């Protein structure tokens, strides 16, 4: 029996990995399932909101990677999952779950997906989106203010105190596990077209 093809798309914050992943989802619609690592942040509802805001969300320990591995394993065996939903405004996992069925192509997207060897072993194609640090910071600043209700000071402080050090400690070293390195992510039309061609080839044999 054929298994779904698992494509991992990693890269630093604001690198363009989400843009690339969403572009693939738009191109392939019902044949592709997109799973974001962001869904799998651990829930710290036992802490106050002020305490949760001080947590290091860029460290691997902030992610429930065991649950993500379990879900990918089930999807590869054509079993559906109920994935979590996470609130970046309140920094907690919501009570609702989203039912997801397996698809021929499954894309996992996130900053730390190449950090865990067991998760990496489940991937058939590993893509790292490599983008200049200044561009990544500017994109994160805009996103966190517009989409996550943050102010400039908190974004800058978080970037300097946790995001940048964690990128250097965990994300940049994980680049060596990639099969393909793409500059600028979804904005790199040549590279994204090559991925589209690869997925079309996979689906033609399904």
Question: Burial level of 6, CB count in 10 A (0-12/13-18/19+)?
Answer: buried
What is the extent of the structural domain holding 172?
A: 5-200
State the pLDDT at residue 201: 92
pLDDT at 186 over 80: no
| Least confident piece of the model among 75-89, 95-109, 123-137, 150-164 | 150-164
pLDDT at 49: 87
Q: Quick check: 147 pLDDT over 90? A: no
- Could you tell me if 20 and 7 are in contact, meaning their C-beta atoms sit under 8 angstroms apart? no
Tell me the per-residue pLDDT of 165-180, one tens digit each, with 9 for 90 and over: 999 999 999 999 999 9
Q: How confident is the model at residue 185 (pLDDT cuts 50, 70, 90)?
A: low
Structural domain tally of the chain?
Answer: 1
CATH number (domain holding residue 27): 3.40.50.300
Q: How far apart are CA 86 and CA 67, in angstroms?
A: 14
Whether 206 is in a domain gets the answer no
Q: Would you say residue 205 lies in a domain?
A: no
Flag whether 172 is in a domain: yes
């Amino acid at each position: 029996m054929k298994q779904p093809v698992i494509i991992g798309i990693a890269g630093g914050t604001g690198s363009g990995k989400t843009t690339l992943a969403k572009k693939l989802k738009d191109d392939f619609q019902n044949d592709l399932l997109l799973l974001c690592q962001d869904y799998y942040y651990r829930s710290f509802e036992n802490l106050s909101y002020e305490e949760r805001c001080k947590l290091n969300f860029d460290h691997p320990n902030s992610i429930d990677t065991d649950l993500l591995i379990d879900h990918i394993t089930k999807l590869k065996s054509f079993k559906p999952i109920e994935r979590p939903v996470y609130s970046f405004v309140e920094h907690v996992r919501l009570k609702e779950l989203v039912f997801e069925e397996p698809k021929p192509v499954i894309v996992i997207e996130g900053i730390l997906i190449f950090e865990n060897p067991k998760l990496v072993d489940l991937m058939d194609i590993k893509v790292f989106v490599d983008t200049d640090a200044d561009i990544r910071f500017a994109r994160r600043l805009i996103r966190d203010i517009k989409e996550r209700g943050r102010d400039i000071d908190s974004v800058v402080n978080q970037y300097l105190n946790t995001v940048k050090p964690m990128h250097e400690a965990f994300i940049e070293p994980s680049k060596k596990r990639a099969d393909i390195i793409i500059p600028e992510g979804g904005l790199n039309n040549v590279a994204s077209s090559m991925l589209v061609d690869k997925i079309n080839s996979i689906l033609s044999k399904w």
